[in-house]
Homo-oligomer: A and B are copies of this chain.
Amino acid sequence: MEEVDNKQVIFKGYIERPPKETDMEIKVSKIKLRAPKGSGAILVKNLYLSCDPFMRGRMRDFQGSYIPPFVPGQALEGFGVYKVIDSENSDFKPGDLFSGLTGWEEYSLICRPQQFRKIQQDNIPLSYHVGLLGMPGFTAYVGFFEVCSPKKGEYVFVSAASGAVGQLVGQLAKLHGCHVVGSAGTSQKVDLLKNKLGFDEAFNYKEELDLDATLKRYFPQGIDIYFDNVGGEMLDAALLNMRINGRIAVCGAVSQQSLSKPQGIHNLYSLIIKSIKMQGFLQHNYLHLYPRFMEHVISYYKQGKIFYIEDMNEGLESAPAALAGLFSGKNVGKQVIRVASE
């Protein structure tokens, strides 16, 4: 069988700072659109690729995480929506659509498919399977309901609130009867939070001089639940404003410029004096809840009770800049790359 061109986004080498566009490069290699006989592998065409902050962790030369680092010189890997072209695996039929981990390239040979889910086509945009219905959406769902144990009427603060995870946390919290305030980094995002996503209040943290005072203004009664997507100064300020028995879901630390020498958090004493639980979590430890999540969120979406904002870039060439842009807040909503039309 003939080989075809396969455009790829190559990982150049390990870094300790947030990624730049130049940490990746576009390369064209050749690939046979065939899975080797008896290999159990599948050959897929990638349609959408997801830019997620966790990918930054795989750009470090650090083996101790839940997922190994990228291999320099090879294509990046991330969540995507793909169509099966050829299959030596009975779970996958040519033409079927899946979401799961795949390569940052036009075509991928996947030897051991991971975290894949078959997509039942309906009226939901395909790209939502790496966003609202994918890892970020499920992270929001389990982080809010399982880690934060919310009660109706509680005061909820979400940082990076218009992002892939935050926008759903806020909407789920509103549907649960909570009072919800979000922070974001532009007036456009603040406007989306208040006028499109139904947050009670929102503010642009870049316009605030004293985050402690800001949080006291938006939460005169204090914060019951802080869904932390940023770490750093905002976490320190939130710690000062938590209520007794507060809960902090630690979901991300996108504010931290250097993961090897991150900023210090000074107010952990609040954990003791206010009996606060602070918990890191990984969505893949809660997969038994995935069917319930899908049922709830699809139902809310179809009833028009949930929106999901995407920032869609066109073409693999746009992927390095889009991934780097996550760390300066360039994206408005969930960052996705459209690699090909179905």
A279 close to chain B: CB less than 8 A: yes
The main secondary structure of chain A at its interface with chain B is: loop
- A interface size (C-beta, 8 A): 37
Which of B259, B263, B276 interacts with A264 by CB under 8 Å? Answer: B263
B64 touches A269 (CB 8 A): no
- A256 close to B (CB within 8 Å): yes
Which of A1-9, A280-288, A296-304 contacts the other chain?
Answer: A280-288
Complex CA distance for A292 and B263, rounded to whole angstroms = 43
- Is A252 in the interface zone, CB < 8 Å from B? yes
- Digit string of A225-268 for contact with B (CB within 8 Å is 1, else 0)? 00000010001000000001100001111001001011111111
- Whether A80 sits at the interface, judged by CB under 8 Å, is no
CA A325 – CA B285 in complex, angstroms? 45
B285 in contact with A280 (CB, 8 Å) = no
Choose among B65, B266, B285 the residue that contacts A273 (Cβ–Cβ < 8 A).
Answer: B65
B275 x A282 contact (CB < 8 A): yes
| B contact residues around A275 at 8 Å (CB) | 66, 279-282, 285
CB neighbours (8 Å) of A251 from chain B are 272
Q: List the 10 shortest-distance A-B pairs measured between CB atoms, nearest first.
A: A264-B264, A271-B280, A272-B280, A65-B273, A277-B279, A250-B271, A278-B278, A265-B265, A275-B282, A276-B280
